[in-house]
Amino acid sequence: MIPALVNLQPEALWKHFDRLAAIPRASTKEAAAREYVAALAAKLGLESVEDDVGNLVVRKPARPGREGAPMALLQGHLDMVCEKNESTVHDFDVDPIKVVRDGDWLKAEGTTLGSDNGVGVAAALAVMESTDIAHGPLEFVFTIDEESGLTGASAFPGGLLKSKYFLNLDNEEKGTLCIGCSGGVKTTARRRVRFHPAGRGSALRIKVFGLKGGHSGVDIHQGRGNALRIMGGVLQMLLDRLPIEVAEVNGGSAQNAIPREAAALVLTDSSRESDLRSLVATAEAGYKADFGAFDSGLRITVEKAERPARVLDPSDAKQTVALLASLHHGVLAMSPDVAGLVQTSTNLATVNTKTDVVEIVTSQRSAIESSMLAAARMVATVCGLAGFEVEHGGKYPGWKPEPNSDIVRKLQELHQKLFGEPAKLIAMHAGLECGVIGEKYPGMQMVSFGPTIVDPHSPNERVLISSVESFWNYLKLVLENL
C-alpha cells in the first residue's frame, strides 16, 4: 500500500483507493479500472453487465432479512482529470499517482489526485465487498468518461436499472446533500489558418502560469484568472505596439477545467526584444493587481526559444488573439432563488494552434436550459465575428431539485442522527451523472453526497482524510436504513 495511506480508516475503502491510484484512468482510457471492478465482482460471484460504451453495472443481493427493502444504487465514475504542473514529469497513461499525506489531507506530487471520483468509487467497491453492512438489494453503476462531458452517462441505456433510490457518490463537501445540478453544452470554434515562413529576429516563448485553475463549474465564481484570456490580452497588446509574428498559441487541458497555463511562440526584431520584455512585465503587474488574492501566484515570463519554421498569417494571428482576449469567461447570472448559487456561466477552456485549424473550446452551464442555450449563442456569435465556424455538442440535462422527496427526508433524518444536525441542501453549478442517467428513469429518487475535496481538476486537488471516514459511516447508516 502507498505509505501515505497506511493505517487510514476505513481500511476497506482506502485499500481500493490505493489500487485505483496505481491504475492510469484518464477519460476514455478507463479500461484497466473497469477490469479491476469487473474482476472484483467476478471474485465475489456478483452479476455484472457492461453496456455498449463501457459503463459497468454490478448487482449484489440483500443481506439476509433485508430482501424486502427497496433497491438502491451507488454510482461513481471511473475516470479522473489528468492535470499536472508544467515542471512535473508524469505520464498519465503509464505512471501511478504519487499520493502524499499532509496532516489531515491527501494530495499528489504535482498532479491531480483522482479523489474525484476515486474516493466515491472506492467506497462503492468497499460496500460491494462488505459482509457486515445490513443493506437491501443493491446496484452499482461505474461510468466512463465523466470528466470530458458526461459522455458515459449520456450513453447509458434506459431500462437496465431496477433501483428506486439513486445515491451518487460524487459530491465534494462534507455535511451537504446535493439535490440538483446544472446542465451544460460544449461550444467549439474552428478557423482554418494560413502560415508563411518565419522571418528574422528573436524567437521568444511567452508563458502564463501559476494560476489556481479549478473546476469550471464549482469554482467559476471564485474570481480566478483564465490563462487563455490573459495570454490573449498580452498578445493583443504586443501586436498593437511591436512588430511581432505569432507562430503558435496553446493552452488549457480540458473543457471542464479553468485553464491554468498557456504558452505562445513569437518572433520579434532583436532590437525590440527588451521592449517586449518590458511590456510583458508591465502586463504581468497589471493582471496581478487585478486578481489580487484571488490568484496571487500568476506569472508571465519571456524566455528564448527555438526558431519556428513558420508563423501564422498576420490576419489569422490577429483574429485568433482578439477572440481569446474578448471571449467572456466566468459568471453570467446568479440564481434568484438559491443564495450564492451560480445560475449561468461560460468557461474559455482550451486553444490549439498546432495544425492548420485553430480550435478554441468553451463550455456553458446553467440550471435553466434556455439560459444555457442563450449563453452558447452569445459565445458562438462572438466567435463568428472573428471568422470562426462554430459547433455545439455534448449537451446534457440539468437535475431539478426535489427537497421533499422520500430519499432526501430519509437522509436528513439519518444525518441528524449521526452528526447531530441536518445536512445543508445544495444544488451544484456543475453536471452530475445522476441528472443525466436519472432523466432516463422517471420516478427514480436521487441524492449526491461525499467527503470534502478541495480544488478538484487541478494539481492542488486534495481530500480531507477525516471527512472520508465520516462519509463512510454515513453511507453505511444510509444503506442499513433504506
Cα–Cα distances in Å, from 21 out to 15, 245, 343? 10, 43, 34
- The yes or no reply on domain 3-182+398-481 and CATH 3.40.50.720 is no
Instruction: Report the DSSP pairing between strands 72-77 and 138-143.
Output: parallel
Question: Catalytic one among 18, 83, 116, 146?
Answer: 146
Distance between CA atoms of residues 157 and 142, nearest Å: 13
Architecture in CATH of 185-396: 2-Layer Sandwich (3.30)
Distance between CA atoms of residues 275 and 315, nearest Å: 23
pLDDT in the model for residue 294:
96
Is residue 79 annotated as a catalytic residue, yes or no? yes
Type of residue at 122: A
Type of residue at 375: A
pLDDT in the model for residue 398:
84
Cis peptide before 226 (omega within 30 of 0): no
**SS3 of 148, please?**
coil
The secondary structure element, H or E, covering residue 426 is strand 424-428
Q: Which sequence spans correspond to the domains of the chain?
A: 3-182+398-481, 185-396
Instruction: Report the DSSP pairing between strands 342-352 and 357-366.
Output: antiparallel
Question: Catalytic one among 18, 30, 79, 433?
Answer: 79
CB 183 within 8 A of CB 367: yes
pLDDT in the model for residue 432:
87
> What secondary structure does DSSP assign to 298-321, as a single string?
-EEEEEE-PPPSEEE-HHHHHHHH
Is residue 469 annotated as a catalytic residue, yes or no? no
Residue with cell 505569432: 246
**SS3 of 283, please?**
helix
pLDDT tens digit string along 94-139?
A: 999 999 999 999 999 999 999 999 999 999 999 999 999 999 999 9
pLDDT in the model for residue 385:
96
pLDDT tens digit string along 321-345?
A: 999 999 999 999 998 877 788 999 9
Residues of the chain with pLDDT under 50: none
pLDDT in the model for residue 394:
86
